[in-house]
């Protein structure tokens, strides 16, 4: 077959399609978004009618994928690392119910937080839920592994995590498609109680899950993705996984690596292989792109093995993504000569686009808030988070999806006045509706701005789940109709908008203001459609 | 054959199209390629970079190692300097010189040019002006790609074929403008090397 030039995200998606995928579920989040989009735009997926509509959030996506797995068909659910926090409840329990049809949870971590609030490592979740993890080290592996991940998932009736990181998700390479499997037919679980977690059943199933670990470990021992490369110089052994392996290899392009290397790309950890390298080598360097997960397990709480090096002793930086230069230092190799960045080069942070509707919303909000001073505006995850930067300096928080409304409620409860929330339409659909219900039930004195640009803009123009329904949803939740205002965030409406905002600040209760104007990136397209 | 390239610019300027054109050219032949790019928040008017690696041998790292880049191709003068730590001492710096000013403390152009020229192997070209001359301001990125063509190690006609393939669905006019842009950039660079 032809070579395809694909992102790591896309390679995984192509693998899933070729491995008989029946449904993709997900919520956009950098760097995972392109996995789902690839399925969404695939002609093959359209022909087979593979499910490919975005879900409202990662939790519903995870549950929908679990439902498809229940029927015996193969399902893929995609999210960024922090999305797995949202989906943690169904994910943890899916470890106990197990899967029926193959179930892959594809999670893209973001070491160095290129576009995230933290750099949590999804391998922790794998261990937490006792679920196997695959961690591809290149695009071809991302493609190949989906076949093995689905097969393992069905063989052991367990969901499987596929963990990507930014530099694989968003890096392109040529991949070769290898085979093509038909989709599964519907076949309900052999055990009709498999998905029944009443305590009496759950206790039994949890024991089964623990017992299963030995078999999964054996799979890891024999996995083709866990390779032991012997080396002559046993003063050091390198345990590495995912992209870390590439950075080790990169530093030995000119000179062959003489140290033994254990490359781990399938978990639970292959205990015997680890024992072997630890026994054979004087010191061990652990190289992982993300948190020091393997390193921490190996060190143990007492950290008395004494021969392990890595992120926790400063051989590699404690946080942030790895790169070839960091590995070069850790391996004690001479650094390449480096030109410094000239001092005249200034930082160029991202900014709201020229003509962006959020700009006008912030100008109006700032004017209305002038008399109260700073410190009153809770915001959320999206392009509008850039309203924190000059010239706006308009918001004071960005924590997690939906937190703007809930934090505003808590602050209003404490007596902060005014207490303002700023959230985007898709984020509102994701996690903002339930806190608004709290606000209505406790008659919290807040003003919630739902910035409706009709799209999920930051991640690259995905459909928003609530388009055309924002005020209906607010009314359904119980916000009074006369305190829901749709405003037009444009310069010409500035005075009028400021007046509406001031009035609602002075109303003692829940107000919702919906600045509505399409994102400039879709505005032209919308005009054409008309 | 092995080339490490850093593509630099400001979100929205079109560095990813350059990567697509080069990628399309090499994937058709038996050459390895890796190209890491930036998505998400950084795309909104901020500094963006893409790492492009081409080799006849297997490529390990998706990122170009510091100090190992054969060239920086930049669509913006200040951005061309931001990635110096990646450039080999004798690597090529090929940059557009029309500034994209969206920060209050943007440095003076004469200081930027001085830094660019201080690098031994540099080509400073007004891609915006040339693109305007041929009546296609948005093809500035192809002018800059053209200026880097003599150093890429990819036959020029393969780049032209890629442009035809990638821009084909946008119509013959767009294809022709981009081909013109590519040629003008190449001519400029070849002229410059002769001097």
Tally of domains within chain B = 1
On the 0-12 / 13-18 / 19+ scale of CB atoms within 10 A, B176 is middle
Residue B83, exposed/middle/buried by CB under 10 A (0-12, 13-18, 19+)? buried
Look at A346 and B47 and tell me if their CB atoms are within 8 Å: no
| Alpha carbon distance B167, B187 (integer Å) | 22
Is A257 near chain B, with CB under 8 Å? no
B61 touches chain A (CB under 8 A): yes
Please judge whether A460 and B38 are an interchain contact, meaning their C-beta atoms are less than 8 angstroms apart: no
Residue ranges of domains in chain A, CATH in brackets: 3-222 (3.40.50.970), 227-330 (3.40.50.920), 357-529 (3.40.50.970)
* A contacts of B35 (beta carbons < 8 Å): 171-173
State the pLDDT at residue B11: 85
Tell me the pLDDT tens digit for each residue of B41-81: 656 778 999 999 999 999 999 999 999 999 999 999 999 99
In chain A, what residues touch B36 (CB-CB under 8 Å)?
A: 167, 170-172
Q: Hey, of B63, B69, B83, B116, which one would you mutate to test binding to chain A, going by the most A CBs within 10 A of its CB?
A: B63
Q: Is B115 on the interface with A (CB under 8 A)?
A: yes
The number of CA neighbours under 13 Å toward the Cβ of A194 is 20
**Domain region containing B17:** 2-194
- Tell me the DSSP string of A60-81: HHHHHHHHHHHTT-EEEEEEEH
Q: Which two three-digit tokens encode residue A43?
A: 């002609």
CB distance from B45 to chain A under 8 Å? yes
Ordered DSSP codes for B53-83 = EEESS----SSPPTT-EEEEEESSHHHHHHT
CA dihedral B191, B193, B194, B195 (to 10 degrees): 90
Q: Tell me if B39 and A30 make a contact (CB, 8 A cut-off).
A: yes
Which residues of chain A from 489 to 508 reach within 8 Å of chain B, CB to CB? none
Query: A304: which DSSP letter?
Result: -
Q: Are A194 and A100 in contact (CB under 8 A)?
A: yes
Per-residue confidence in pLDDT tens, chain A, 530 aa: 578 999 999 999 999 999 999 999 999 999 999 999 999 999 999 999 999 999 999 999 999 999 999 999 999 999 999 999 999 999 999 999 999 999 999 999 999 999 999 999 999 999 999 999 999 999 999 999 999 999 999 999 999 999 999 999 999 999 999 999 999 999 999 999 999 999 999 999 999 999 999 999 999 999 999 999 999 999 999 999 999 999 999 998 877 889 999 999 999 999 999 999 999 999 999 999 999 999 999 999 999 877 999 999 999 999 999 999 999 999 999 999 999 999 999 999 888 998 999 999 999 999 999 999 999 999 999 999 999 999 999 999 999 999 999 999 999 999 999 999 999 999 999 999 999 999 999 999 999 999 999 999 888 889 899 999 999 999 999 999 999 999 999 999 999 999 999 999 999 999 999 999 999 988 877 777 76
B46 at A interface, C-beta within 8 A: yes
Rounded to whole angstroms, the Cα distance separating A188 from A21 reads 17
- Which residues, 6+ apart, have CB-to-CB distance to B121 below 8 Å? B90, B91, B92, B93
Contacts of B104 (CB under 8 A, 6+ apart): none
* pLDDT at A185 (0 to 100): 98
Flag if B39 and A33 touch (Cβ within 8 Å). yes
Residues of B in contact with A348 (CB under 8 A): 10, 45-47, 78-79, 102-103
Distance from CA of B83 to the nearest CA of A (A): 7
Kindly report the CATH number assigned to the domain that includes residue B133: 3.40.920.10
Token reading at A1: 């077959």
Q: Is A198 helix (H, G, I), strand (E, B) or coil?
A: coil
| HSE (side-chain half, CA atoms, 13 Å) at B153 | 14
B47: chain A residues, CB-CB within 8 Å: 347-348
pLDDT of residue A525: 76
Q: Could you tell me the two tokens for A8? A: 């790591």
């Amino acid at each position: 077959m032809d070579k395809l030039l694909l992102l790591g995200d896309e390679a995984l998606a192509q693998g899933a399609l070729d491995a008989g995928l029946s449904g993709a579920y997900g919520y956009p989040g950098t760097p995972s978004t392109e996995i789902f989009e690839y399925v969404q735009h695939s002609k093959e997926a359209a022909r087979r009618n593979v499910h490919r509509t975005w879900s409202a959030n990662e939790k519903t996506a995870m549950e929908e994928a679990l439902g498809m797995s229940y029927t015996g068909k193969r399902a893929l659910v995609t999210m960024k690392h922090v999305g797995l926090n949202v989906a943690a409840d169904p994910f943890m329990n899916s470890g106990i119910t197990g899967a029926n049809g193959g179930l892959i949870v594809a999670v893209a971590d973001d070491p160095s937080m290129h576009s995230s609030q933290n750099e949590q490592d999804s391998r922790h979740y794998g261990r937490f839920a006792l679920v196997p993890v695959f961690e591809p080290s290149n695009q071809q592996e991302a493609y190949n592994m989906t076949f093995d991940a689905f097969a393992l998932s069905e063989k052991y009736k367990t969901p499987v995590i596929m963990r990507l990181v930014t530099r694989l998700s968003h890096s392109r390479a040529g991949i070769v498609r290898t085979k093509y499997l038909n989709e599964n037919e519907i076949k309900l679980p052999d055990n009709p109680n498999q998905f029944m977690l009443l305590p009496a059943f759950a206790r039994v199933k949890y024991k089964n899950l623990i017992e299963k670990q030995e078999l999964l470990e054996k799979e890891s021992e024999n996995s083709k993705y866990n390779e032991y490369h012997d080396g002559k110089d046993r003063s050091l052994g390198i345990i590495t996984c995912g992209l870390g392996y590439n950075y080790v290899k990169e530093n030995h392009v000119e000179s062959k690596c003489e140290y033994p290397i254990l490359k781990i790309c399938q978990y639970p950890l292959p205990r015997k292989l680890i024992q072997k390298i630890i026994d054979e080598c004087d010191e061990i360097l652990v190289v992982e792109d993300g948190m020091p997960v393997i390193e921490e397990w190996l060190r143990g709480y007492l950290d008395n093995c004494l021969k392990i090096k890595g992120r926790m002793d400063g051989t590699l930086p404690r946080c942030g993504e790895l790169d070839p230069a960091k590995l070069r230092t850790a391996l004690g190799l001479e650094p390449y000569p480096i030109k410094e960045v000239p001092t005249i080069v200034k930082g160029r942070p991202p900014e709201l686009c020229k003509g962006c509707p959020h700009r006008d919303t912030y100008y109006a909000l700032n004017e209305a808030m002038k008399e109260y001073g700073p410190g009153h505006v809770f915001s959320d995850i999206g392009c509008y988070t850039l309203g924190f930067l000059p010239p706006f300096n308009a918001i004071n928080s960005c924590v997690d999806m939906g937190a703007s409304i809930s934090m505003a409620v808590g602050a209003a409860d404490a007596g902060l006045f005014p207490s303002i929330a700023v959230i985007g339409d898709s984020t509102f659909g994701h996690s903002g509706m339930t806190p608004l219900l709290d606000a209505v039930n406790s008659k919290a004195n807040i003003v919630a701005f739902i910035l409706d640009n009709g799209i999920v803009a930051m991640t690259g123009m995905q459909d928003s789940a609530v388009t055309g329904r924002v005020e209906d949803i607010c009314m359904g939740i119980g916000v009074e109709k006369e305190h829901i205002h749709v405003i037009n965030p444009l310069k010409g409406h500035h005075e009028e908008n400021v007046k509406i905002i001031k009035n609602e600040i002075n109303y003692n209760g829940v107000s919702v203001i919906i600045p509505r104007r399409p994102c400039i990136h879709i505005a032209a397209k919308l005009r054409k459609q008309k | 054959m092995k080339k490490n390239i850093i593509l630099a610019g400001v979100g929205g300027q079109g560095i990813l199209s350059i990567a697509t054109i080069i990628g399309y050219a090499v994937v058709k032949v038996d050459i390895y390629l890796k190209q890491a790019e930036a998505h998400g928040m950084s795309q909104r008017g901020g500094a963006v970079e893409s790492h492009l690696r081409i080799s006849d041998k297997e490529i390990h790292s998706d990122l170009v190692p510091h100090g190992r880049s054969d060239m920086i191709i930049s669509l913006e003068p200040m951005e061309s300097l931001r990635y110096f730590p990646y450039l080999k001492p004798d690597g090529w710096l090929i940059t557009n010189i029309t500034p994209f000013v969206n920060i209050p403390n943007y440095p003076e152009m004469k200081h930027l040019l001085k830094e660019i020229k201080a690098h031994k192997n540099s080509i400073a070209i007004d891609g915006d002006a040339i693109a305007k001359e041929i009546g296609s301001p948005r093809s500035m990125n192809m002018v800059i790609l053209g200026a880097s063509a003599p150093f890429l190690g990819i036959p020029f006609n393969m780049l032209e074929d890629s442009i035809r393939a990638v821009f084909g669905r946008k119509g013959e006019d767009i294809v022709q403008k981009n081909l013109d842009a590519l040629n003008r950039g190449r001519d400029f660079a070849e002229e410059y090397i002769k001097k």
